[in-house]
Amino acid sequence: MIWPFRRQKPEPEKIKIENPPTPGAGFFSTDIPLGVPEFDRAALIARSIQTPMPKLKKGQGMDAAIGKWGGTAASVPDAQLAWYASQGFIGYQLCAIIAQHWLVDKACTMPARDAVRNGYEITVNDGSKARPEIITAMKTLDKRYGLNRNLREFIRMGRIFGVRHALFLVDSDDPNYYAKPFNIDGVKPGSYRGISQIDPYWVTPELDRSATANPASLHFYEPTWWRLNGIGRVHRSHFCIFRANEVPDALKPTYNYGGVSIPQKIFERVYAAERTANEGPQLALTKRSTVLALNTAAAITDQAAFEERMALWQYYLNNYGVKIIDRGDTYQQNDTALGDVDTVTMTQYQLVAGAANVPSTKLLGTSPKGFNSSGSYEEANYHEELESIQENDLTPFAERHHQLTMRSDIAPRFGIAPVDTEITWLPVASLTATEQADINLKKSQTDTALAQAGAVDGVDIRNRLIKDPDSGYSGLEAYEDTDGEEDLPVEAAGTVGAAIQAPDNPGNTA
């Protein structure tokens, strides 16, 4: 019987977890936690693929493969699937936050600086000649518009976010100029204003019908326009877009039609390396452990006296104090060997360098450890990476800039017809003075052998020295004939020393 005036104790409120943690999504976890009988495979796949995959009718080729998100008998085990699904797109805000870390910042910044460091030469690709002042004017405009700074930022921020948009600003009377495909004939004198680079969260992709419904289209699943606040639609041809490691079509909407960023690639490895490095000082401070054998029964009987004795023991527990024990006590000291701690730590950082495609010798400034490597192969591989960045990403950027400066500034100033130019990147590996001297010595030996064979003479060798900027004699004057007629300076066709002149207009002195 329950008395009416006796209050019943309320039942404890049940706590409902709205978003329970997904198993297997933590650091370094590939195991199935206890108590989790099954995974929601569709939810795991949805982390990376935002749009539903196409469902074909039964009997068609892809139905068995994707009808259940690949959940066939030969599918990836659930624990491994959960781990791989946790490696999906982390978002641009997290990319920016993680890029603040010193190691992530170096991995994103160093290739950008190294690719631009040695510079380039401007060349003319139509066989015409030019005066040096025109190339000098183009280089002056490069400095005015901050081309080198923009090239570095283009690669650095592209590696941070996985995508980078560079918009070339041109004044136009046409209000729909940016919405239309880029047309160089629409660039008027004095209309080019410079380069604006935009973080990916300020642009919104927009695809036309062909880009979404025609897989055979050249621009399938590539945004036709990008919407910018204040400008509106901007056609893709007005941009230079850097994409680091493009993803398949199924993942493009998730990545906002960009690529996989360096922070996403290495954040887990950086965390592991930093945690391992932090273990070093802790191991050094706790490498000595002492064992003191006591009468535990007596120690438990008088707890206060035991704790007082242990406090006194800890006070003297250093290399400079005196350790005093009773005759019946037994003392033992154990030391932890730290011989391979530095190798283990450096190996973790080398894994970071490998994921970022930057040699550990450059990223950390130390010799490699743990992999028994001298670092020479990594350096050669890094130079190939830099050359790929130059050829695929920086060259289109710089040549579009020169195309616009030629139409907007150079051609009107010198009164010439616009000429297409190209850039030739200088070698990414900087030679030391000793290496350069050795190369010049071998060149001189080759010249001597060819002269003795009668293939060349002194004039040919002198002209080669004049054309070679590293010979030490590039400032020599051209050879004069005995008949009093001076030979023209030998200039490489289309090099920085060449002058732009239309071949079909002899009266044009530009």
How far apart are alpha carbons 400 and 422 in whole angstroms?
Answer: 10
CB atoms within 10 A of CB 94: 14
Per-residue pLDDT band for 9 (boundaries 50, 70, 90) equals low
Coil/strand/helix, residue 193: strand
- Assess contact for 406 and 124: CB atoms under 8 A: no
The stretch 441-446 carries a mean pLDDT of 90
Per-residue pLDDT band for 500 (boundaries 50, 70, 90) equals very low
Domain borders along the chain are 1-88, 92-110+133-263, 266-379
Packed helices 262-285 and 102-117: angle between N→C axes, nearest 10 degrees: 130
Summarize pLDDT for 324-340 with one digit per residue, the tens: 666 666 766 666 667 67
Closest CA to 197 of 401, 425, 407: 401
How far apart are alpha carbons 383 and 427 in whole angstroms?
Answer: 9
> What pLDDT, on a 0 to 100 scale, did the predictor assign at position 303?
86
Per-residue pLDDT band for 320 (boundaries 50, 70, 90) equals low
- Assess contact for 30 and 81: CB atoms under 8 A: no
- Distance of CA 371 to CAs 119, 169, 265, 346, Å? 34, 49, 21, 10
- Assess contact for 401 and 422: CB atoms under 8 A: no
Average pLDDT, the chain: 79
Coil/strand/helix, residue 352: helix
Which pTM does this prediction carry? 0.73
CA 210 to chain centre: 31
Q: Which residues contact 383 (CB under 8 A, 6 or more apart)?
A: 428, 429
More confident residue, 175 or 1: 175
Summarize pLDDT for 233-283 with one digit per residue, the tens: 999 999 999 998 899 999 999 999 999 999 999 999 999 999 988 888 777
The stretch 94-116 carries a mean pLDDT of 95
C-alpha dihedral, 305 to 311 to 312 to 314, nearest 10°: 140
More confident residue, 288 or 381: 381
Please determine, for residue 481, whether its predicted confidence score (pLDDT) is greater than 50. Answer: yes
Give me 411's structure tokens.
């051609």
The stretch 404-411 carries a mean pLDDT of 95
Q: What are phi and psi of 461, to 5 degrees?
A: -65, -40
3-state secondary structure 270-296: HHHHHHHHHHHHHHHHCCEEEEEECCH
> What pLDDT, on a 0 to 100 scale, did the predictor assign at position 51?
56
